[in-house]
Structure 1
C-alpha cells in the first residue's frame, strides 16, 4: 500500500493561496525529497499532512487512511520532525522521549527500550541524561529524529530539519534517515537545499504552491545540473 497519497490538495490563508492542486505519492521504503525555495509551500503541506490544519480541498491518505475521514489511524503511523524545534529544553533527553512515548501509549519498559535503541543508532546515547538545553543544535536535531521514530512509525515527515546545521551534521542526519528506508521506513524530506538531493531519490519540486516537476532525481539533471534545472523550474534562472 502506498505510504502517502496527496490528491488535488489546495489550501489558502485569506486571499493568499499557499497550495494549488498539489498531487504526489510516497511509495513504501522510498526517500522522497520535497524541494522548493523558501515560501514555496513546503511547511503548509507538512502542516496539512500532520493534521495541524484541515485541508480546504483535496485528500491526504496515509497507508490508505484518509486524514479527512479517518485521521486517528492515519496519524498513528506517522513520525514528524517539524521545522521549528519542539523539545523541552529543561527536560533531559530521556525525559523528552518518555513524554512522547506516553502520548503514543508505549509502556515505560517499551519506551526505555526504544529510546536506548534510537539514541544508540544516532550516536548520542551517552547524552541521554543531559538536559536538552546543554546540547548543540545538531545534537538536538538528532534527539528529534529519535523521538519521531520512537513509536516505530511507517512514514516519517521531516521539514527543513537540517537548517542551521553544519555540513557534517546535515550529512549524518541524512545518512541515518536514508538507512532507515532500507528497513521499510518511508520518508518525505522537505528542504530548500539542493545538496541534500541524491540521484536515487524521488523528487518533487514545489514552487509558489504547485508541483513543477516530479520523478527520479537523477532524471531532472540528465541534460545538465540539478541547480540549473531547479532555477529554470522556479523561474530564477538568469
Structure 2
C-alpha cells in the first residue's frame, strides 16, 4: 500500500441490473482528509455506488481501492478502513444505545473493555453521552442518526461513507450532523464521501461530483461547478435537465 494512495479510488466502475445500466464508467477519488460531496437526484446511482464500495454488490467492471487496498484482492484490509452510514435506518430499536454499539464492536473483534472506552468517547463526541442506557426507540430521528455515526466510527475507520444522512431531519438536526462530520474531517483527518441532494450542506471549497443517470456529469470544487453567476443549485438543475454527457 502506498502512503500516497487516496482514501478512496473508484476507477471506471460500471454496474447493471439485467438490461438496466445503473452506473456507467464512474470514476471518483476521495483524497485523504477531504470532504467530497456526491450530488445526484433520486435514481442517479448513488446508493448503487455505495453498495459496490461496501461489497454489498459484487463489482465486475472497474476498480475500487481504499487507501491503496484493492477491494477485489484485499477486501478485509480495504473494508477495515471503512465506516458507513446508509440511508436506511439500521439500529435495533429494541436494544439500548450501548447494546447496539457493543454488538457492532464485537463484529469487528474489539475486546469489550476497549469497546466500552471507545463508545464512551464517541457518544461524548456526538453529544449523546447521557443516552447510553436508553433504548433506541426513545431517540429522535436526529439522535438516532448521531448514534449511527458513532457506530460507524467504533472500529477507527479512516474513510466514512454517508448516504443521504440528513434526509427527513429538521434543520437543526441536519446542521448538527453536518457539524459533527466536518469537525471529524478538520480535527482528525477523516476522509468523507457524503451523498446528498441538499445544497446547503456543501461548502464552496468541498470537492463535488454530480452523478446523473449513472454517469458523472460534473466534478470539481463545489464553488466552481456552475457557469458564471450560477449557484451550485442552479448548476445542478441545469446538469440533470440536459442530455447525459460524461464529465472530463
TM-score (norm 1): 0.97
1:231 correspondence with 2:237: yes
Which residue does 1:191 correspond to in 2?
196
One of 193, 213, 216 as aligned partner of 2:218: 213
Secondary structure of residue in 1 paired with 2:88 = coil
TM-score (norm 2): 0.93
Q: Per-residue deviation at 1:222?
A: 5.9
Secondary structure of residue in 1 paired with 2:241 = coil
8 Å contact from structure 2 (residues 227, 235) kept in 1: no
Which residue does 1:135 correspond to in 2?
139
Q: Per-residue deviation at 1:56?
A: 2.4
**1:57-136 correspondence runs (5 A):** 57-136=61-140
8 Å contact from structure 2 (residues 37, 194) kept in 1: yes
Matched residues in 2 for 1:9 and 1:221: separation?
A: 25
Matched residues in 2 for 1:104 and 1:222: separation?
A: 46
One of 164, 171, 175 as aligned partner of 2:179: 175
Q: Per-residue deviation at 1:221?
A: 3.5
Matched residues in 1 for 2:56 and 2:196: separation?
A: 19
Q: Per-residue deviation at 1:144?
A: 0.0
Q: Per-residue deviation at 1:195?
A: 1.7
Alignment root-mean-square deviation, CA: 1.2
One of 126, 130, 147 as aligned partner of 2:151: 147
Matched residues in 2 for 1:56 and 1:213: separation?
A: 24
One of 2, 9, 20 as aligned partner of 1:5: 9
Secondary structure of residue in 1 paired with 2:77 = helix
One of 31, 55, 59 as aligned partner of 1:27: 31
4+ runs of 1 displaced by more than 6 Å? none
Secondary structure of residue in 2 paired with 1:79 = strand
8 Å contact from structure 2 (residues 37, 208) kept in 1: yes
Q: Per-residue deviation at 1:184?
A: 1.2
Matched residues in 2 for 1:121 and 1:24: separation?
A: 29
Q: Per-residue deviation at 1:186?
A: 0.2
Which residue does 1:50 correspond to in 2?
54
Structure 1: runs of 5+ lacking an equivalent: none
Structure 2: runs of 5+ lacking an equivalent: 243-248
